[in-house]
Chains A and B, each alone.
Chain A
Amino acid sequence: MLSIRNLVTSYGNIEALRGVSLDAAQGEITCLLGPNGAGKTTTMFTVAGIISAKSGSVTLDGEDMTRLPAVKVVSRGIALVPENRLVFPYMDVEENLRAGAYARQASKAEISDDVAAVFRRFPRLEERKGQLAGTLSGGEQQMLAIGRGLMARPRILLMDEPSVGLAPLVVEEIFGIIRELNAEGVTILLVEQNARMALRVAHKFYLIEGGEITFSGIPGEFDEDEVIHRAYLGARKE
């Protein structure tokens, strides 16, 4: 479905991605693991069109998405739930959700239906629908960011470290949501540092270190501890 080939992205002279290739299959959860600074967010931002690739390609169902600006990427079916949630702090919960549907050519009624659907999924958001997003708890902000991503009705949902900075119970809740979304058929590309949890929901994983994919596989087929060790510490396989 989503196919990334030899993606190279740099910040000035620093090459953050040095030829990343990965595939996310329809209906699956694909997980991208790796230590700090490995290039996970850069991969997500490049796919989402926030930063522009130097070379390589991104295709979604065969359609070329490389170097499209973010505005076009989202309207063609890729939504990113960004690292650190990035909710609109001075908008209320409902407005945040409506902003998520900005790129869609949908009627008011359709969008209201989708807002209602997000509220059914996250009753805690409905209770706080008039509250400013900046005053929500971390877990609630994460739910809001996910809800905002869903409002775009994407073909694939990218999530960048949705569990970071959350209490263990809330992390469980977020992974529960990810599993549930997937069970409903949403294709997900998930970036995580919480490798143990991620490997539990992933159908396939990739390991990124120093801007390169160094390892990939199906969870169960490898020694979990080694994968986790590398994801945290970036110890390269000799």
Chain B
Amino acid sequence: MGDFDFVYITQTVGDGLLFGSTYALIGIGFTLIFGAMGKLNMTYAAASLGGAYVGLAAFTFVNAPALVVFLVSALASGIVGFIAYLTCFRFIPIHNHLAALMASIGGLFFIDEIVIHTTDGSPLTFPAMFEDVMFELGPLGIRGDLLFVFAVCIAATAGLLFVLYRSRLGLATRAVSQQDVAARLCGIDVHRTNAVTFVLAGLLGGIAGAMTAAAVGVLSPLITIPLTVKGLIVTVIGGLGSIPGAIVAGLMVGALENVFLYFRGVNERDMYVLLLLFVFLVFRPHGIFGSAISRD
């Protein structure tokens, strides 16, 4: 628990912002699916880490280079996202929100159990890139691996926005999330579009999972629940369904969590993060980017 040291706090905030980009990605994934279906996909963070585990398998068994590991993580998580859609959403009646929620919570624990059983629950080393690089910025230092994580997350977000706003697929995704009846009238297949949304979110999640593991250096089933909770907090603070909100909230939670860590230590850190959520729920329940045009 630190004293007030300006340089150190700046360093802390900077590191937090860089790492917060992984929260932003997870938040975007939650928010994307919420936007499309009006439902929370609770499997999401577990699926993201599950994807990272598959990437890790590529590392462990065929000694794949880090970049390939990240790519495999993304693809695997995309596939898990598709499976989660089929098992927890596709065939559950559209208006039965609780059933979909419970199914996806089941999915969360199912994925978690698979991971625990295959790894005996022990943490495994995850490859990073540029972990030996350190940029000096006056008294501050920027970790190369964190900077890489940040850059990858920015690139993934940019890629997603490109797909959403510049492609036919993205047009369909946005149409379904804004007005599903009209989307059907335009000839858009809602089920297929939702499946695509889950895969897109899954790809992002796999990248986020891999980047989280790369930044921490290990992958452990102990990360699943905290990452789920952080993702949900980021989604709610950003405003359910808002991608810009998820980005800002992700970076903010990343930075503040580090500040809490610095002042109050690791035991109290998450308590303050949850307090932050509480403050938002009371004073700004629609999140940072509460929408101007109402839904429906």
Contacts and interface: CB of A to CB of B under 8 A. Distances in A.
A69 B189 CA distance: 9
Given A86-B182, A135-B293, A71 B187 contact: yes
B176 to A, nearest CB: 10
Interface stretch (B2-10, B122-130, B167-175, B219-227): B167-175
B264 interface: no
A102 B187 contact: yes
Contact of B171 (A49, A99, A152): A99
A170 interface: no
Contacts of A49: 184
Nearest to B177: A90
Contact of B189 (A71, A79, A88, A89): A71
Contacts of B185: 48, 50, 70, 74, 79-80, 82, 86
A100 B175 CA distance: 10
Interface string B152-196: 000000000000000010011011001101111111110000000
A88 B175 contact: yes
A24 interface: no
A7 interface: no
Contacts of A95: 171
Contacts of A171: none
A140 to B, nearest CB: 14
A71 B188 contact: yes
Contacts of B293: 89-90, 132, 134-135
Contacts of B179: 86-89
A53 to B, nearest CB: 16
Given A90-B293, A95-B171, A135-B293, A70 B178 contact: no
Contact of A71 (B168, B182, B184): B184
Nearest to B176: A88
Contact of B186 (A90, A100, A132, A135): A100
B188 A82 contact: no
A22 interface: no
Given A90-B293, A102-B172, A82 B187 contact: no
A25 interface: no
A148 interface: yes
Contacts of A88: 174-175, 178-179, 182-183
Nearest to A134: B293
B57 to A, nearest CB: 39
B287 to A, nearest CB: 16
Output the residue of A74, A79, A99 with the most chain B CB within 10 A: A99
Nearest to A70: B184
Interface residues of A, number: 29
A164 interface: no
A10 interface: no
Interface string B242-256: 000000000000000
A70 B182 contact: no
A103 interface: yes
Interface string A184-220: 0000000000000000000000000000000000000
Nearest to B295: A89
Contacts of B178: 88-91
A221 B105 CA distance: 64
B187 A91 contact: no
Output the residue of B168, B184, B293, B295 with the most chain A CB within 10 A: B184
Nearest to B168: A102
A103 B187 contact: yes
A75 interface: yes
Given A71-B187, A89-B293, A135-B293, A82 B171 contact: no
Given A71-B187, A132-B293, A86 B174 contact: no
Nearest to A135: B293
A105 to B, nearest CB: 11
A98 B187 contact: no
Nearest to A76: B187
Contacts of A104: 187
Output the residue of B179, B188, B189 with the most chain A CB within 10 A: B179
22 contacts: A48-B185, A49-B184, A50-B181, A50-B184, A69-B184, A69-B189, A71-B187, A74-B186, A86-B182, A87-B182, A88-B175, A88-B183, A89-B293, A89-B295, A90-B174, A90-B178, A91-B175, A99-B175, A99-B182, A102-B172, A104-B187, A152-B186
Interface of A: 48-50, 69-71, 74-75, 79-80, 82, 86-91, 95, 98-100, 102-104, 132, 134-135, 148, 152
Interface of B: 168, 171-172, 174-175, 178-179, 181-189, 293, 295
Given A69-B184, A88-B183, A95-B171, 8 more contacts: A48-B185, A79-B185, A86-B181, A91-B178, A99-B171, A102-B187, A102-B188, A132-B293
Query: What are the 10 A-B residue pairs with the smallest beta carbon separation, nearest first?
Result: A103-B187, A134-B293, A70-B184, A86-B182, A74-B187, A88-B178, A102-B186, A89-B293, A102-B187, A99-B186
